[in-house]
Amino acid sequence: MVTYPRYAVAFALAVLLIAAGSATIPSGDSARAGPQPVVSSLGFGATFGAPYSEVTVALLITANEPGIAAWAAEVSYDPAALTATGCTSHFGYCNATFAPDTVRFTGALLSPILGADLILGQITFATGPTEGQAQLTVTDYELYNAQTTAAESVTPGVGIVTLTAPPHIQGDINCSGAIATNDVTAYLAALSGLGPRSSAGCTPPGAEFRTHLWGDINCDRSANEADPLALLLHLSGDTIANGICPDIGSPLDWPPD
């Protein structure tokens, strides 16, 4: 019984490439010399972003002579921090919803993949509320030599997505860096379910930011219509007297009682 690699389409196209005479196996002095592998790296570029936003991660390969003619890879990620919303493959096809925590790429080419730090594909993620680092791993892959169709091996690198929130200042609802009437407007829009965040990484009112309830302007332990009213009072020159409440305009880097 004849068996084929799991990614049969990619393998078959690689075989057709050889049958068509597009590549020949070198011999003698022209043979590939030394221990240099065909694939010397498979991994990710460093990625930085913010919570409540989007980030794009690149899957990179370094392929030496004679290159790679067919390939497949599965990239797994932490679904608690990231959600794949789309993907692109520069040399084939991708499926962003292959599994709840996995994106799948496949590809086959008439001209081999050859070069350093080439982008095989990219994944777009929506980020959740969590700051810190989220890890990506290549959990399965197949890479086929452009001359022999032999499967090449490599130790994939780990990808790290670092998410850092912008400064959150009490009363600066849209994280613009200033407190103004547009923060009142943003708050009312958020309460109605219509308000987009104007800054990547800005926490929506009613969600926690570093254990503080973001948008709780009057510190009554809730985010509601009383808070934009408190903002309006502040903008008109009034003040809020509350011993546990951070002053409007102060950074929120402290945990409440």
Contacts of 35 (CB under 8 A, 6+ apart): none
Confidence of residue 220 (pLDDT cuts 50, 70, 90): confident
Q: Which pLDDT score is estimated for 247?
A: 84
Do 71 and 10 touch, CB atoms closer than 8 A?
yes
Residues of the chain with CATH 1.10.1330.10: 166-257
Q: Which pLDDT score is estimated for 123?
A: 98
Q: Which pLDDT score is estimated for 198?
A: 60
Res 90 pLDDT > 70: yes
Average pLDDT over residues 94-120: 94
CA 144 – CA 148 distance, rounded (Å): 8
Tens-digit pLDDT profile for residues 38-84: 999 999 989 999 999 999 999 999 999 999 999 999 999 999 999 99
In terms of pLDDT, which residue wins out, 160 or 23?
A: 160
Tell which residue, 207, 217, 226, 219, has the closest CA to residue 244: 219
Res 212 pLDDT > 80: yes
In terms of pLDDT, which residue wins out, 35 or 234?
A: 234
Residues of the chain with CATH 2.60.40.680: 8-26+37-163
Output the six-digit token pair for 80. 């608690």
Category of 158 on φ-ψ map: left (φ > 0), alpha (ψ -120 to 50) or beta: beta
Res 226 pLDDT > 90: yes
Confidence of residue 219 (pLDDT cuts 50, 70, 90): confident
Confidence of residue 34 (pLDDT cuts 50, 70, 90): low
User: Residue type at 203?
Assistant: T
Res 151 pLDDT > 90: yes
Res 16 pLDDT > 90: no
Output the six-digit token pair for 202. 């800005």
DSSP 3: -
User: Tell me: domain 8-26+37-163, CATH 3.40.30.10, correct?
Assistant: no
Q: Which pLDDT score is estimated for 144?
A: 96
Confidence of residue 86 (pLDDT cuts 50, 70, 90): very high
Tens-digit pLDDT profile for residues 106-116: 998 889 999 99
The tokens 């503080």 sit on which residue? 212
User: Residue type at 149?
Assistant: T
Class of domain 166-257 as given by CATH: mainly alpha
Q: Which pLDDT score is estimated for 18?
A: 39
